[in-house]
Amino acid sequence: MKLKQLVILMAAIVIMMANVAPLYASEMDERIVSSAKSSHIWKTYLKGDDIKVESMNGMVTLTGEVSEGFHRQLAVETVESLPGVQSVDNKLTVRGTEPASDSDVEIAGKVKATLMFHRSTSVSTTDISVKDGRVTLSGVAKSLAQRDLASEYASDIDGVVGVDNQMTVPSAKTTAQTLADYMDDASITTQVKYTLLSHRSTSTLRTKVDTKDGVVTLSGIAKNSAERTLATLFANDVNGVKAVRNLMTIE
């Protein structure tokens, strides 16, 4: 009799678990979609794009159209950084003709993203044009230091062969640009990863980026201490980053 009761109890547990698992998966998938759409990256850089996010058991599919090539990478890396995501199938297309690798259009996108992501250069009045790998920056900088740093960062982007900085610096003080005190960890991770990949000095680093409450942890392998230090410098200047823990080892 006891054996029969045990069998019935175990069968009931199996049935209950079978019902609970799909419910948990459904809640997790809804959380993934919601987190992606509410992320800083989505609301700031991808707000004008037509992106549909679908998730099934943590396997995410992105469909739709984006305005610039680098937006595809931002969308993928943001979703990959979310808890519960197992894989990302990127089916996003670029509006118009997708730029070829290392084309002037793609280089302009990398420079634009880098200057936006770094808090030291994140101004909305920077205009960027690229011709045969030569970058021209125009617009308004808050200070000479910011203007010079924009040139330095742009020069270190893969594919850039020269920078002509025509940005002006107003004599009067301007209102400081503010950023929300809170930025989600997935958006911070995406910005750091994209920044390290875009800079020529850190593009070959085998780096893993994790973010918890604004604190970025870098792990992986650097060729030398200079590369390791530069990775910390770039990451620490990204919008939303509160601190950087560099656990990278030297090859």
In the prediction, which pLDDT does 69 show?
Answer: 84
Which tens digits make up the pLDDT trace of 204-239?
A: 788 899 999 999 999 999 888 888 999 999 999 998
Domain residue extents for the chain: 2-94, 104-165, 185-250
The stretch 153-182 carries a mean pLDDT of: 74
pTM across the whole model: 0.73
Is residue 86 scored above 90 in pLDDT?
A: yes
Contacts of 230 (CB under 8 A, 6+ apart): 199, 201, 202
In the prediction, which pLDDT does 176 show?
Answer: 41
Put the strands of the sheet holding 134-139 in their side by side order.
Answer: 126-131, 134-139, 162-165
In the prediction, which pLDDT does 126 show?
Answer: 76
The CATH number of domain 104-165, selected from 3.40.50, 3.90.190, 3.90.105, 3.30.70: 3.30.70
The CATH number of domain 185-250, selected from 3.20.20.70, 3.90.1150.10, 3.40.50.300, 3.30.1340.30: 3.30.1340.30
Query: Measuring CA to CA, how many Å separate 190 from each of 56, 57, 125, 159, 169?
Result: 22, 22, 23, 21, 30
The CATH number of domain 2-94, selected from 3.40.50, 3.30.70, 1.20.1250, 3.30.60: 3.30.70
More confident residue, 203 or 62: 62
Query: Do β-strands 59-66 and 87-94 pair in parallel, antiparallel, or remain unpaired?
Result: parallel
The Cα 140–Cα 166 span in angstroms is 9
